[in-house]
Amino acid sequence: MHFLDQAKIYIKSGAGGPGGVSFRREKYVEYGGPDGGNGGKGGDIIFRAIAGLNTLIDFRYSQHIKAKRGGHGMGRDRTGAGAPPMYIDVPVGTQILSDDKEHVLADMTEVGQEVILLKGGDGGRGNASYKSSTNRAPRQHGEGWPGEELWVWLRLKLLADIGLVGLPNAGKSTFINSVTNTKSRVAPFPFTTITPQLGVAYHKNREFVIADIPGLIEGAADGAGIGDRFLGHIERCKILIHLIDANGDNPVKAWQIVQNELNEYGGGLIDKPQILALNKSDLLDEELMSDIADQLRAAGAKDIMHISGAGGAGLDELLDALMPYMPERSTIEKAKGNSVANLDDDGEATWSPL
C-alpha cells in the first residue's frame, strides 16, 4: 500500500428535494384541496475516523465526493425521502483543513469519531403549505435548499507514542527494526527511508508505537531534503528519541542541526522531552564514547544513552527510560480498538478484529 499523507478533495452535501404539487379529490371528503408534501432533506457529508487505515491514498483516485439529493414531495401530504448521509472514512489522526490551509476544520483523533462537516439542504415546501384563506388552490412549491460545497485538504498526522529523529544514516531504520515488528528498509546510503514508518514495540508487557520519519538535513525547515514534510507526524508524540551516529564526523554538530530544525519547524517539537541516543557504540571504545557524551553535554544535550541498534547493546535500558512517558493504554491501542496489528511484506501495519 502506498503512503500518502496529504490530499485535496471536493465535497458537496445533497440539495433538498422539491416540494410536491398535488390536489386531492376524495369521495367522502368534502371540498378537497392541495395536498402536496414537502421535499426530503439532502444528505450530509460526515467524516468518520476508523481503525486500520494509515494512508490517504484512496483520495488520490476519488477527489470529488457528493451526497445525494432529497426525494420529491408527493401527494397525500407525503414528505419526500431524506437522502442518506455520505460517510467519508479517514485514518485516525487526520486533520481537515480549509482550502488555504489556514484553518483546521476538524481533527480526527479517536476511533469512531464523526464530524458533520457539511449539512444537506432542507426540502422545499409542498403546495399544501401555501394554502391560505386567500389562496385556496396554490400551485407554487419550493425547489429545496441547495447543498453546501467546499474544497478541503486532508492532512494525516500519524498517531504514535514515540518519535524517532536524526540525520540520514544515523541508524534509525536499523534501530526501529530491532525494537519493533516493522521491516524498514536498511541500506548504506542516505534517505533509505522516504516515507514515515510505524513500528509496534513490546516491552515489559507494554505495547507502544514508534514513528520513524525520513532523515533531516540542515535547512530542512526551509524545504531542503524531504524530512521537513513529515515532521508533522511526530507532533502528537509524547517523547522523541534523537539518534546520533557516534562514529560520524561531528556528533555535536549533528545534534545541533537536528535541534535547530525542530526549533525552526515549530509545532512544539523542540519542547518535547527527548532522549539522545548515541548509536553504533559497538564501533568505539568506552573512553571515546564518554568523551563524545561530555562534548554533547557541554553543548547543552541531556539524557544521553549509548546504544547499538545493530548489536542490541543498550536497547533494553533505552526502552526502560521511555516507560514513564507511556500512558496506561498506548496510542495504537486507542487507534485500533479491539483489534490486532498485522504486517504485510512491505512492513505496512493493518488491523483485524480479535
- State yes or no: 199 annotated in a binding site: no
Angle at 238 between CA 194 and CA 339, to 5 degrees: 75
47 is in an annotated binding site: no
Sign of CA dihedral 314, 220, 2, 94: positive
167 is in an annotated binding site: yes
Residue 68 annotated as lining a ligand binding site: no
Whole-angstrom Cα distance, residue 201 to residue 210? Answer: 7
Check the annotation: does 313 bind a ligand: no
- The answer on whether 192 is annotated among ligand-binding residues is yes
Residue 62 assigned to a binding site: no
What the block records as the C-alpha cell of 290 is 564518554
Residue 281, marked binder: yes
212 labeled part of a ligand binding site:
yes
166 is in an annotated binding site: yes
211 in a known ligand binding site: no
Q: Is 173 labelled as part of a ligand binding site? A: yes
Q: What is each CA distance from 309 to 214, 243, 315, in whole angstroms?
A: 17, 10, 7
168 is in an annotated binding site: yes
57 a known binding residue? no
Whether 308 has a binding-site annotation, put simply, is yes
Buried b (16+ CB within 10 A) or exposed e, 236-263: bbbbbbbbbbbbbeebbebbbbbbbbbe
DSSP 144: -
Does the annotation place 178 within a ligand binding site?
A: no
Cα separation, 35 vs 29, in Å, equals 13
Contact 215, 186 (CB under 8 A): no
Residues forming beta bridges with residue 277, ordered by sequence position: 243, 305
Question: Is 214 labelled as part of a ligand binding site?
Answer: yes
How many CB atoms within 10 Å of residue 133? 5
332 is in an annotated binding site: no
Q: Tell whether residue 172 is among the known ligand binding residues.
A: yes
Say whether 80 counts as a known binding-site residue.
Answer: no
Q: Are the C-beta atoms of 83 and 12 separated by less than 8 Å?
A: no
Residue 11 marked in a binding site: no
Q: Is 331 one of the annotated binding-site residues?
A: no
- Please enumerate, by residue number, every residue annotated as part of a binding site: 166-173, 191-195, 212-215, 279-282, 308-310
- Please enumerate, by residue number, every residue annotated as part of a binding site for GTP: 166-173, 191-195, 212-215, 279-282, 308-310
- Please enumerate, by residue number, every residue annotated as part of a binding site for Mg(2+): 173, 193
